[in-house]
Structure 1
Amino acid sequence: MFYEMDCAIVGVMTTPVAAPAPSSTASASTPTAPPASEPAPRRTSLDWRIRFAVLSLIWGFSFLLIKVGTHGFAPFQVTFGRLLFGTAVLAVALLVKRDRLPRGVRTWGHLTVAAFLLNALPFSLFAYAELTIPSALAGICNATSPLWGMALSMVALSEDRPTRRRVAGLGLGFIGVLTVLGAWQGFHGLDFGGTAMALLASLSYPIGWIYVRRTLAGTSNSHLSMMSGQLLVATVQLAVVTPLFTSMPTRIPVVPLLAVLALGALGTGLGLLLQYGLVAEVGPTTGQMVTYFIPVIATAAGAAVLGEALTWSMPVGALIVIAGAALSQSKARSRT
């Protein structure tokens, strides 16, 4: 559920970019393929700081919504519902703006891969992970995506060179992960399967972004068009997979259904639109700062709303992970 943005143009979940450079929980604004360029949207009457706060809350609470959704539906069903409602929101936005979906077999082929790596796979992994791990831990694992992305980008992208700051940030982030997992206690009480799936979901985002940057960076389609196309493909992917691995629920529980509806319409659909507007207005550097609030909000929401037990190592480790991610993406000040 990590949400990413390209350095110049908003992306997706997830997200922020790091490996592109990150910006997505979670996970929980959905990473999407970026267009080459397009005019910035008009400023809205609502101050960007308010929209920034709203986006942080939406994405921070997404992990809680996933947990609640899995109380009534299978993980694939949660993911399918999330994508379906998110796509519906973007479809309305397309109609309002009188935009259209991308064209071309090549573009749709690349969007199919991007949809799997940036939406279908990580969303499903987070849903399965939260069957056995707290939503707070899932949110913290999501925060490792910028670290994965920075490490991969230094290997896969020639323009991303390793620097002392990046190496130090990666090292600090790794220490934070070990702190969250309680390495000094031999990882006692940790569900390895669920944690591994959450970390794999976070790794999927930067892999997808590297693919997007190599294949779709020059598209002339609008950002909204590419977002909508990618989510549509991901929805179709889950529509095929879900019936194969799940059965129809015997009843439709109201609270889990509302959680999935909010997760898709707000966390995925509205979250993407808010993120794009923020980055277009205040720039990617400020816009991607939302990433660092997600694990904090996810941890607080899990403890306050779901009553999840917290050890001191989880919030402390989360702060170390965030500091490492911020350091790995920062730039040294130029000397004058």
Structure 2
Amino acid sequence: MRVRIGAQFVALACAWGSSFLFIKVALDGLTPAQVVWGWLVLGALALCAVMAVTRSRIPRDPGLWLRLSVVSVLLCVVPFLLFSWAEQHLDSGMASILNATTPLVTLAVSAVALADERLDRRRTAGLLAGFAGVLALIGPGSLVGGGGHLMAELACLGATACYGVAFVYLRRFITPRGLPAVSVAFVQVTIGAIIMLAATPWLAAPAPRIDAPIALGMLALGALSTGLAYLWNNNIVQAWGAVNAAAVTYLTPIVGVTAGVLLLDERLTWNQPLGAVLVIAGVMAAHGAPRPAQRPVVVPEAAVEPEMAEAEVEQRVVR
């Protein structure tokens, strides 16, 4: 059991960390909007298969679907578009590191919007360290010269800001319902796919060019990073708990940078490791390091689902 869950943890880190590599590959023949179109449509199909395997139920409350439409725009459509546009000007490794600021942005939004998430000294120190990491990542050249790189970096930070707002919205309005995380993910990704399908006439030009690497990259984004990743994440949360499962956040930028350097010949600059260390240190300081796993306790399913849903909310780094 430990070996199987450990393998799924590694696979989850690789799936979410390499998603920025897949975006970069897909941009060779697709526009950013076309990448997001394929990402969400394939992701919805993959999650439909996951729903069938796990025998999860589709929520039927119209009010819930309306609230999840807000989540879909903030958690899928807008940030996916921003990251895809940004990677026209940024290396995939840089985008993956900037994506790692999501827990810090979520903490900042939570401190403002949620009464029980006020900042203390530890969290404030984590935010300051993470902010220093962002400044190190952007670098003095971009701050002074501006240009496409700075705008792309700001687009990535705008995407993480969308994530932060969406996670707080989910925690306030969706998590208390105790819904299975897979069901919530399926609805939000499906709504995003419907939005992109409705926009198809405006996304057809220029005509997409799809070769084998692009097709494999899109399949990986949809089936791997959005489909199987949710199933693995749920299994890890059930076996190890939400806090330990969240440790995957520390590994995804390492995977993203390594994949970019080894597979795309991206150049690693001095400020990227420094910024990544500061960002990860800030996340660990603000949220705490993983705790030793406890022996699993059998509890009713209804008592497990809220924890699963909240853990899924906090980890969605399409990620």
> Do the aligned partners of 2:31 and 2:208 also contact (CA within 8 Å) in 1?
no
**Which whole-Å CA distance do the structure 1 matches of 2:160 and 2:231 have between them?**
21
Match of 1:120 in 2: 77
Q: Does 1:58 align with 2:35?
A: no
Match of 1:156 among 113, 138, 161: 113
Match of 2:234 in 1: 276
Match of 1:90 among 27, 47, 68: 47
Q: Which runs of 4+ in 1 moved over 4 A?
A: 184-190
Over the matched positions of the two proteins, sequence identity in percent amounts to 36
Cα deviation for residue 237 of structure 1 reads 1.1
> Compared with structure 1, are the counterparts of its residues 99 and 297 closer, same or farther at alpha carbon in structure 2 (3 Å cutoff)?
closer
List aligned pairs for 1:175-194, cutoff 5 A: 175-183=132-140, 186-187=143-144, 191-194=149-152
Flag structure 1 segments of 5+ consecutive residues without an equivalent. Answer: 1-43
Q: Does 1:195 align with 2:195?
A: no
Amino acid at match of 1:286: N
Cα deviation for residue 134 of structure 1 reads 0.7
> Do the aligned partners of 1:140 and 1:318 also contact (CA within 8 Å) in 2?
yes
Which structure: greater helix fraction?
A: 2
**Which whole-Å CA distance do the structure 1 matches of 2:96 and 2:80 have between them?**
12
Q: Does 1:239 align with 2:197?
A: yes
TM-score (normalised: structure 2) = 0.85
> Do the aligned partners of 1:58 and 1:267 also contact (CA within 8 Å) in 2?
yes
Cα deviation for residue 188 of structure 1 reads 5.0
> Compared with structure 1, are the counterparts of its residues 194 and 164 closer, same or farther at alpha carbon in structure 2 (3 Å cutoff)?
same
List aligned pairs for 1:229-308, cutoff 5 A: 229-247=187-205, 249=207, 251-308=209-266
> Compared with structure 1, are the counterparts of its residues 132 and 264 closer, same or farther at alpha carbon in structure 2 (3 Å cutoff)?
same
TM-score (normalised: structure 1) = 0.81
> Compared with structure 1, are the counterparts of its residues 175 and 219 closer, same or farther at alpha carbon in structure 2 (3 Å cutoff)?
same
Deviations 1:91-134 (A, max 9, x none): 11222333331102101101111111111111111111101111
> Compared with structure 1, are the counterparts of its residues 294 and 241 closer, same or farther at alpha carbon in structure 2 (3 Å cutoff)?
same
Partner secondary structure for residue 52 of structure 2: helix
Match of 1:143 in 2: 100
The higher-RCO structure (CA 8 Å, 6+ apart) is 2
Flag structure 2 segments of 5+ consecutive residues without an equivalent. Answer: 292-319
Amino acid at match of 1:278: I
Q: Does 1:171 align with 2:140?
A: no
> Compared with structure 1, are the counterparts of its residues 327 and 52 closer, same or farther at alpha carbon in structure 2 (3 Å cutoff)?
same
Q: CA RMSD in A?
A: 2.0
Amino acid at match of 1:216: I
Partner secondary structure for residue 161 of structure 1: coil
